[in-house]
A and B are shown apart, each in its own frame.
Chain A
């Protein structure tokens, strides 16, 4: 297949961004020997350096490379904590955004642009990321649980400034028509037509492939140790693989953002929050809809897990027991699952802010520095690539994203 985009060599003569000498326009891979001049400090350079090569970083990197920016993604090695390889692979809208209607709208926006994003990635890379949007269910195993879920959805929709989206209550009888395999303990649930799923491992691969094909430079083994804003603008990033200079930087280092952000006038109070997943052997397709705690992958394995918005304080207390609770609930929702063999379990670390919502920020002190952190790197991948990245490329975050700034944490608890 012939790439529809310009090769990076075609673009090398095009002046992009503001400022930066010849040395700054070389890619990380070229690593020229500049001799004993002052540029020696910055052997390698790029226009925009994205720090972090997980789903968040590479989606932004891809979105920056699309319009032809010269981007380097500086990543850790294989031992990095990598939520991108441990997530639940939902493109999920339902129930998100209680406390921040703007987050509900942003999530919905991502789910709306996901299909086009998936199509483009598939065409460019030949990798099938198996994106589907059949709508999703949140099923309940008791009347009390169902009532809590209903109250959550009502609270979400009735917030000031909320743009309501479609969802519906589905009673047990109606549910049995759609999902005949449900167990006797399922009392009902909620369905939202906006929910979907994807193969997130292939999504990560496709984004890396697409990014490289569009001329981006991926640099593993470049964990950022220190970021120094330069007097004339721009940044110098010291990494385990050497120093890199960039006109702009995007912090997308997950948990690492907490340490790196203060170096460029930003803040990211994030903590790791553990999530555990079980996957069964591959089974013939039986689950045509993703559920918030249960889904069948395109290859047939059944994934059992717990989503962030449902993980209450009680669940967080338990560690090993979580897997047992997850498995037990899954087998009550679909008794057939209880007969499948489990082939793997794992845990991964969500990148969690105090209020659970993402942070998108631009440094006031050093305006070339941007920050992006969230715990829904799959759901928001489309928005990050198609909407956020163009803002970063243009140099300013859209005012519509101002509510996601870390400045929101400045409000005193008791006024």
Chain B
């Protein structure tokens, strides 16, 4: 669905996506990496259960919430991808301890 622009020849960054190894690019946001990895659905809504994915990519819509390194409800579009990051998609509500 999404492809990176050809001039973005940045170094590759590997991270964990739901426990499996995934690849992104240095300097991009977690949300961008998910979209490029073909994983547009990053969470389900807490009340209605509908799927949601990154939309505004600028911190406004809160649709790109994911669990990053054990902390739930982080805005994927506002967090830069780092080597070895543990990114997990969220099923509904954030758990209290994470």
Contact = CB atoms under 8 A, between A and B. Distances in A.
B77 to A, nearest CB: 15
Interface string B68-98: 0001110000000000000000001111111
Interface in A131-177: none
Interface band, chain A:
10 to 19
Interface in B43-88: 46-47, 71-73
Contact of B97 (A281, A282, A285, A336): A336
A155 to B, nearest CB: 35
Interface residues of B, number: 12
Contacts, number: 35
Chief secondary structure at chain B's binding surface: loop
A300 interface: yes
A283 B46 CA distance: 8
A346 interface: no
A130 to B, nearest CB: 12
A341 interface: yes
Contacts of B96: 181, 283-284, 286, 334, 336-337, 340
B71 A339 contact: yes
A120 interface: no
Contacts of B46: 282, 299-300
Contacts of A337: 96
A181 B97 CA distance: 9
A283 B47 contact: no
Contacts of B95: 283-284, 286
Given A299-B47, A300-B46, A336-B97, A284 B73 contact: no
A340 B97 contact: no
Contacts of A299: 46-47
A300 B46 CA distance: 8
Given A299-B46, A299-B47, A300-B46, A284 B93 contact: yes
A10 B97 CA distance: 57
Nearest to B95: A284
Interface in A294-347: 299-300, 334, 336-337, 339-341
Nearest to B74: A341
Interface in B31-53: 46-47
Nearest to A334: B96
A281 B94 contact: yes
B95 to A, nearest CB: 5
Contacts of B98: 339
A205 to B, nearest CB: 16
Interface of A: 181, 281-286, 299-300, 334, 336-337, 339-341
Q: Which 8 A-B pairs have the closest CB atoms?
A: A282-B46, A286-B96, A336-B96, A284-B93, A300-B93, A284-B95, A282-B93, A283-B96
Given A283-B94, A341-B73, 8 more contacts: A281-B94, A282-B93, A282-B94, A283-B95, A284-B94, A285-B93, A299-B46, A337-B96
27 contacts: A281-B73, A282-B46, A282-B47, A282-B93, A283-B72, A283-B93, A283-B95, A284-B93, A284-B94, A284-B95, A284-B96, A285-B93, A286-B95, A286-B96, A299-B46, A299-B47, A300-B46, A300-B47, A300-B93, A334-B96, A336-B96, A336-B97, A337-B96, A339-B71, A339-B98, A340-B96, A341-B73
